[in-house]
Amino acid sequence: MCPEGTLVDESETLTVKRPSVHLHFELCKGCGRCVVSCPNGVLALSGAYNKLGYHAAKVEDLSACTGCGICFYACPEPGAITVYRKQK
């Protein structure tokens, strides 16, 4: 279950009530590309270190996320960002 409560499981498929983004803290290398690429200021670099020793990115304002996916494509680390788009 998504910690933000935006996902519901229906007949083995995931549908999204509203767009959302999830950052995987321990996979991030703190490059900041997602932060500067997001057009809505959703993301920021954390002041805390992850296990790799980086200031990992975090979600600052989830309500502003449109699910555009720009941060996902900007991120060089596989699996560090998951974007949930609203189904039409």
For position 66 contacting ligand SF4 by CB under 6 A, the verdict is yes
By CB under 6 A, residue 2 contacts ligand SF4: no
Residue 7 binds to ligand SF4 (criterion: CB under 6 A):
no
Using rule CB under 6 A, residue 42 touches ligand SF4: yes
String of DSSP letters for 37-58 = H-TT--EEEEEEE-TTS-EEEE
Instruction: Provide, rounded to whole angstroms, the least separation between the CB of residue 69 and ligand SF4.
Output: 5
Q: Which backbone phi and psi does 87 adopt, to 5 degrees?
A: -75, 145
Shortest Cβ 28–ligand SF4 spacing (Å): 3
CA–CA distance, 19 with 63 (Å, rounded to integer): 9
